[in-house]
Structure formats: C-alpha cells, structure tokens
Amino acid sequence: MSGKSDPGRFFEDFRLGETIRHATPRSLGPGERALYIALTGSRFALQSSHEFARGLGLPGAPLDDLLVFHIVFGRSVPDISLNAVANLGYAEVRFSTPVYDGDSLTAQSTVIGLKENSSRETGTVYVRTTGVNQRGETVLELVRWVMLRKRDKGAAAPPPAVPKLAEHVLLDSSLLPGLDLSRYDPDLGGGGHGWDDYEPGERIDHIDGMTIEESCHMTATRLYQNTARVHFNQHAEKEGRFGRRIVYGGHVMSVARALSFNGLANAFRIAAINGGRHVNPCFAGDTVYAWTEVKAKLEPPGQRRDLGALRLRTIATKNRPCADFPAEGPEILLDLDYTVILPRRVQRHRNI
C-alpha cells in the first residue's frame, strides 16, 4: 500500500484538546430535502412547504433538523469513528441557526475526553463536533463518545479525562429568528394539540410501523456521506458479529421522528438532544415502531409566550408495536431524550 489511503484513526491517535477540521464541505438544498422525505416519510409542515414557512416569517422552509444532524455527524465519521467498536452515546446536542436551501456546511471536532479501557485494547474518545454555515454561524453542536480499538495494545495511554456533560441542554436563542406564530395554521400543521395540551407523564403511541430495506438505509447514509463500514459492506459484515450490515442508528432516529408526527405534528423544531442510546442494532427487514413520553414542559428561549418546549423520551422498537409502551428488552432500538418546540395553543378548524 502506498500510504495514500487512510485506514482511520485508532485510540492512540487522538490527543486531548486537539481540533480536527473535517473534509467534504456540503451544500444542502432541494435535493436533500426531497430525499430526506422520501427516505424517512417525514411530514412536518414547516420543513415541507416554503409557503407555510414564509407565512411564519421565515425566508423559506428550513431543512429538517435531523438531516442537519446527520450531515454534521457524517463529516466527522472518517476522522473519528471509522474504527469504532461501538457508538456509545450522544449528549449536549444543541440546534441553533436554521439551515436553508443553498447553505453550505462545514464541521470540526474537538477531543474533549480520552479514557483507555481496562483491557488496554480499546479506549473511549469524547468529541464535541460543531457544524457551521457559510457565514460562520453555528447550526449544530453535538457531543458523542465512541469506543475505539488501539492500533497497539502496548501503546502508552494518556491520563484519563472524562468530560462532565450536562444532564440536559439549554436551548439556543438563535433557534427561531423571526418566527411569528400568529398565522400558524394547525390544519396544515396536522395536529390539534399545542404545548398547553400535553402533560408530563403522558404517553403517545405513534401507531404506524416502517420496514427498513437495505437500499433505503444505505441510500440515506450515503446521502449524509457517512462512511462507517458496517452499513455498506455485506462481503465483510457476513464474517462480522451479526453476519450482516447494521442500519445507521441515525436512520432509526429519523424514522422514529417521522412516525412521531402522528401525535406530535406541531412539534416543528428539535431544539436539543439531551442524550441518546442505540440500545440494540437494527437490520434490514426490521419494522420500526415508536412511542413517546412527555418528560417535562419547558419554557422556550427568549421568554416567548406563543410557544413552548417539551422534553420528550421517544423509544423506537423493532417488530414490536408500542400500544403498551415497551421500554426494555431486545426489541428496543433507540432511547432518545430530546426537546422540541411547538405552538403554545392551537385551534383546528378541519371542516370548512
């Protein structure tokens, strides 16, 4: 080998405090918007219609928050997690300035924690990844930690450093610049329920299921230019732990969010992901279901009286309807703690 191709970093290749600029800046636009809908089934009005968004004072429809998440995350994969044994978790995921058609994003990651595992064969790397647009405005920050192999078991390990991570994310005030909800139309939004209508402890079964195909999850993951090998290479994975390709956990997040439209239709922006775990792997052929518990009702940033935030726990399962709200067992795919924004009060007039 000539050394020109990159096998990916191992645990001992990271040092605390370093910042890595990721390759492949990316413009997003109508193509990504349509593909995101086509691959996930998302139906949120704000991201589906420029006219609806302009009616609320925005310059156009923002791109889906999770699309932005996957794009920023995807930039970091070749540098951070190509040799990951496991993606252990997310925290402090804060959405900021909305992304519009034509915006170009770049991403970089700072190493905020390193801890060798007791086996000395692997270690955990914590990074904070930031996505910015072409004006240098932050669109997203996220923290994640992954378990990486060491290239050489005998290599010296840095002193352990584990970052303190917030239990929940403070919402960013640049989430909703210019948003005017006075003309919000819940008939078009798709739901009769505003912030006032939800109560802590309430549980919502999102009812529908979506079966995952190899082609769908691979196409979505390539759209994000996420190169993690376990999603794409059946020739290698047939010898791997599961004998087959694993669905990118972010695709499960997107499908669960799309399913959650049925019950949370007016939750038009994700403000934060407080924490998340991919509990079990998802494979092609699995059918994803989801349910949500309202964990808390929060004030939105900027003391606005027209909208509110909900802290939610959404659980996605495989091949297991959620009418009885399952939270444990091998059928659980995802356990996501996140915060959404929605109008405080809505009144639907379906019939005219």
# binding residues, a second copy (CB under 8 A): 95
**Beta carbon nearer to a second copy, 9 or 168:** 9
Task: Decide: 145 and 113 in contact? Cβ < 8 Å.
Answer: yes
Nearer to a second copy, 38 or 166 (CB): 38
- Nearest residue (CB) to a second copy, 173 versus 234: 234
35 forms part of the interface with a second copy (CB under 8 A): yes
Stretch near a second copy under the rule CB under 8 A, chosen from 23-31, 141-149, 151-159, 302-310: 23-31
Please report, as residue ranges, which positions from 129 to 158 form the binding site for a second copy (by CB under 8 A).
134
Q: How far apart are CA 254 and CA 40, in angstroms?
A: 6
Site for a second copy contains 345 (CB under 8 A): no
In a 13 Å sphere around the CA of 224, the CA atoms on its Cβ side amount to 31
Judged by CB under 8 A, which of 153, 162, 180, 233 binds a second copy?
233
Between CA 317 and CA 85, with CA 220 as vertex, the angle to 5 degrees is 65
What does 50-90 look like in DSSP terms, one character per residue? HHHHHHTT-SSPPPPHHHHHHHHHHHHHHHHTTTEEEEEEE
CB count within 10 Å of CB 71 equals 24
Which three-class secondary structure state does DSSP give residue 303? Answer: helix
* Position 23 contacts a second copy (CB under 8 A): yes
Among 208, 240, 306, 327, binds a second copy (CB under 8 A): 208
CB atoms within 10 A of CB 60: 14
Least Å from the CB of residue 56 to a second copy: 12
Supply the minimum distance, in Å, between the C-beta of residue 114 and a second copy: 15
Q: For a second copy, give the closer residue by CB, 30 or 177.
A: 30
Question: Applying CB under 8 A, which of residues 94, 150, 245, 269 lies at the interface with a second copy?
Answer: 245
Residue 19 found at the interface with a second copy (CB under 8 A): yes
Q: How far is the CB of 129 from a second copy (least distance, A)?
A: 14
Least distance (Å) between residue 245 CB and a second copy:
7
Q: Tell me: does residue 173 bind a second copy (CB under 8 A).
A: no
Stretch binding a second copy (CB under 8 A), from 112-120, 156-164, 166-174, 204-212: 204-212
Out of 89, 158, 163, 190, the only residue in the binding site for a second copy (CB under 8 A) is: 190
The answer to whether 296 contacts a second copy (rule: CB under 8 A) is no
Q: How far is the CB of 121 from a second copy (least distance, A)?
A: 22
For residue 339, what are the contacts with CB-CB under 8 A and spacing of at least 6? 168, 169, 171, 270, 271, 272, 273, 274, 298, 309, 310, 311, 312
Give the DSSP H or E segment for 38: helix 30-40
Of the pair 69, 198, the CB lying nearest a second copy is at: 198
Q: Which residues of 74-91 are buried (b: 16+ CB within 10 A; e: fewer)?
A: bbbbbbbbbbbbebebbb
Answer yes or no whether residue 222 interacts with a second copy by CB under 8 A: yes
Q: Which of 10, 11, 12, 33 binds a second copy (CB under 8 A)?
A: 33
Tell me whether residue 305 is exposed, middle or buried, using C-beta atoms within 10 angstroms of its C-beta: 0 to 12, 13 to 18, 19 or more.
exposed
What are phi and psi for residue 210, nearest 5 degrees?
-130, 120
